[in-house]
Amino acid sequence: MAVEAPARPAAPAPGRGRGGLRHRLAERGVDRVLLLLVPAVLIIGLLFLYPMLYGVSLSLQPKNGGGPLRNYADFFQDSYQRGTVWKTLKLALPAALINVGASVPIAYRLRGRFRGRRVLTALLVLPVTLGTVLVADGLLRYLGPKGWFNRVLLDLGLVDEPVRLIYNYWGVLFSLIITGFPFAFLLVLSYMSGIDPTLERAAATLGAGPWQRMRRIVLPLLAPGLATTFVLAFVLAFSVFPSANLVGEPAGETRVMAIAAYQAAFEKYDYSMASAIAVLMGVFELLVISVTLLLRGRLYTGPAMGGKGS
């Protein structure tokens, strides 16, 4: 008499069950770890993409009609408005270049170990904690007609009348340098610390002097970091607003694009024009960033990030 073996439970179909989703994602080359990015993507979409798209849409709806590009045409046809582009670039580009250029030699010296290094680094970074308004107040008191700077010059007989360094272009530039230098310095210092010091020591054993080591080893390896630092410093300076009002001449030579957008929105209540100016600010920033990254690509072909070479 034949005995039938008990029937085995049916095996789960491929692609089903606990590991089904993982296998299907893996077959499509998708790592489940990427799902962790979903909250960040949602936050960026809500806090950045939606306001940006809303602003672009609002800029295409002129207050007085005339077509979707009427605001942009009015901006470039009005010399008073159009001039804010050059005034903003005239402040942001020198401020970014000065901050990055001054950071390189200081970071190069501070990357080594010596007594007082931490204290000196903390002093250089201290202005970042002061805030734009406090820095502006300090400049008004220090560089004003009755400030310490002018009193010293007058007492020494170097000038006959106070030097005007506030309520004009120079006051805003000084403020941008003071507030922007700590960011540039910290970034350059981090990139500089990533360069292997044995490369310079090896070059020194071959007879390379300090300038040759700086020009042929440090600067080429530092190029990606300098480009990134310049981009961040430029964006920070391009959106200048409090300094241009407090220590500048907001109705004249320091009437930057941010002030023009503010006046359009909160003085003329033309939110469409204000959105158009804000969009143009982003366009000009992207242009400078693109040129910077293009130059970096032509001058350096190593890794895109970090100060170490390939």
Mean pLDDT across 276-283? 95
SS3 32: helix
pLDDT class for 57, splitting at 50, 70, 90? very high
Mean pLDDT across 152-166? 90
**DSSP string covering 184-249, please?**
HHHHHHHHHHTS-HHHHHHHHHTT--HHHHIIIIIHHHHHHHHHHHHHHHHHHHHT--HHHHHTS-
Distance of alpha carbon 196 from alpha carbon 246, whole angstroms: 44
Q: What is the pLDDT of residues 8-43, one digit of tens each?
A: 555 555 545 556 777 777 777 777 777 788 888 898
Q: What is the pLDDT of residues 66-104, one digit of tens each?
A: 889 999 999 999 999 999 999 999 999 999 999 999 999
Q: For residue 139, give every residue at least 6 positions away whose Cβ sits within 8 Å of its Cβ, in sequence order, or none.
A: 166, 171, 174, 175, 178, 247
Nearest to 293 by CA among 194, 223, 238: 223
Model confidence at 304: pLDDT above 60 = no
- Amino acid sitting at position 272: S
Helix (H) or strand (E) holding 291, with range, is helix 271-299
For residues 189 and 111, the answer to whether their CB atoms sit within 8 Å is yes
Q: What is the 3-state secondary structure (H, E, C) of 49-105?
A: HHHHHHHHHHHCCCCCCCCCCHHHHHHHHCHHHHHHHHHHHHHHHHHHHHHHHHHHH
pLDDT class for 115, splitting at 50, 70, 90? confident
Largest CA distance in the chain: 126
Q: What is the pLDDT of residue 10?
A: 54
Residues 184-195 as b/e (b if ≥16 CB within 10 A, e otherwise) read: bbbbbbebbeeb
